Amino acid sequence: MDFERFEEEFSNLKAVFKQKGFAQKPNASGQNVFSKFLDYHLQVLIITSRLEQGIVDHDSFSKYIFECLKNKIEPSDAEMENSILTFGKIMLDLSDFYIYTRSFLDTLTMCIKLSFKRAGNRKWKSMKNSMKGLLNARKMEVCKKEIDFSFFEGLEERISWILDFKKSRDGLLHKYYHFVFTKTRKGEYGYDIMNGTKTSWGTDTVRGILTEVQSVIDNLSDLMEYLSGNLPT
Burial of 215 (0-12, 13-18, 19+ CB in 10 A): middle
Alpha-carbon distances, residue 219 vs 105, 205, 226 (angstroms): 11, 20, 11
Contact status, residue 37 vs residue 16, Cβ threshold 8 Å: no
93-110: per-residue pLDDT in tens? 999 999 999 999 999 999
Length of the chain: 233
Distance CA 225, CA 93 (A): 26
Alpha-carbon distances, residue 130 vs 6, 57, 94, 107, 140 (angstroms): 21, 36, 21, 8, 12
Alpha-carbon distances, residue 103 vs 37, 53, 100 (angstroms): 9, 24, 5
Alpha-carbon distances, residue 81 vs 68, 86, 134, 155 (angstroms): 16, 9, 44, 46
Q: Percentage of the chain surpassing pLDDT 90?
A: 45
* pLDDT of 157 higher than 70: yes
Contact status, residue 12 vs residue 227, Cβ threshold 8 Å: no
pTM greater than 0.85:
yes
9-55: per-residue pLDDT in tens? 999 999 999 998 888 765 544 468 899 999 999 999 999 999 999 99
> Which pLDDT score is estimated for 30?
42
Range name among 25-39, 85-99, 139-153, 189-203 with the lowest pLDDT average: 189-203
Contact status, residue 133 vs residue 139, Cβ threshold 8 Å: yes
